[in-house]
Every structure is written in C-alpha cells, then in structure tokens.
C-alpha cells in the first residue's frame, strides 16, 4: 500500500470503522443509556457525545480541515497552503502565524481577516458541536 499526500494508506477506507462506531454508538444510546441510573447518566451522555465527535471527524474531518486551512490562507493573503505533510500541520502553522500577527496589531480593523477567522471558527465548531452552530445561525 502506498501513502497518499495526507499520510493515510491508500485503499484503507474509513467506511468499516465508521460503520462499527455507528453501531456501537447506537447500541449504547438505544439499549444502555435508558437503563443507566441517574448518577451515571452524565457519563454515558459524555461517551455518546465523544463518539458523535469522532464519527463526524472520521466522516467529514478532511473537508472541515480543508475549509479551515483555506480560511486561514485567505486571511493571511496566501494563494496556496504550502508544502506540509497534513492539513493539521498547515492549520498549526497558519494558526500560529495569524495569532502572532493579530497580537502585533497587523490586522486591526481588517474585515477580511475578521470574516475569514469567523469562517475558520465556524468550520471547526460545525464539526465539534453542530447543534450549537445551528443555534448561532438562527
């Protein structure tokens, strides 16, 4: 197997792990959570929320990271993202750079940077907590 440009082995899809996690999540939600006493209910709900996040990251994570990286690149006025081994690396480098530049006051009053940082934050929030993100849009 060869690695693709994101370091993930080619031919090794995520459909099976996503399906397996979905079955586990649904079983816990449908069969275990209703039977758990109120003292442990919070723990089960936290586990379900964590599984939901993992499922969203596995399903949409690359698209979300790509949107986030594009927003940061646009905010910094970069035409392309550069040569990095992963989207996470790109985001880490660009986040550090824009954070430093904002602290230095280099983007004060820039509606373009403000707009792109909102796009960046919204992309990450959509994956982490889509219900909260939906409430913000109303």
Is there a domain that residue 116 lies in? yes
What is the span of the domain harbouring residue 25?
Answer: 15-137
Is there a domain that residue 6 lies in? no
Name residues whose C-beta falls within 8 Å of residue 125's C-beta, 6 or more positions apart in sequence.
132, 133, 136
Is there a domain that residue 69 lies in? yes
- pLDDT given at position 76: 85
Is there a domain that residue 58 lies in? yes
- pLDDT given at position 67: 84
Q: What is the pLDDT of residues 84-101, one digit of tens each?
A: 777 888 888 888 988 999
Number of domains in the chain: 1
pTM for this model (two decimals):
0.59
């Amino acid at each position: 197997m060869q690695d693709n440009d994101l370091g993930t082995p080619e031919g090794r899809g995520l459909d099976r792990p996503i399906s397996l996690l979905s079955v586990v999540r649904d079983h816990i939600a449908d069969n275990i959570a209703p039977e758990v006493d109120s003292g442990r209910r919070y723990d089960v709900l936290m586990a379900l929320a964590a599984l939901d996040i993992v499922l969203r990251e596995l399903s949409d994570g690359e698209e979300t990271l790509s949107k986030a990286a594009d927003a940061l690149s646009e905010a910094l006025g970069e035409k392309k993202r550069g040569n990095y081994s992963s989207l996470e690396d790109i985001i880490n480098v660009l986040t550090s750079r824009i954070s430093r530049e904002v602290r230095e006051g280099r983007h004060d009053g820039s509606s373009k940077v403000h707009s792109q940082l909102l796009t960046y934050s919204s992309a990450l929030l959509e994956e982490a907590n889509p219900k909260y993100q939906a409430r913000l849009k109303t």
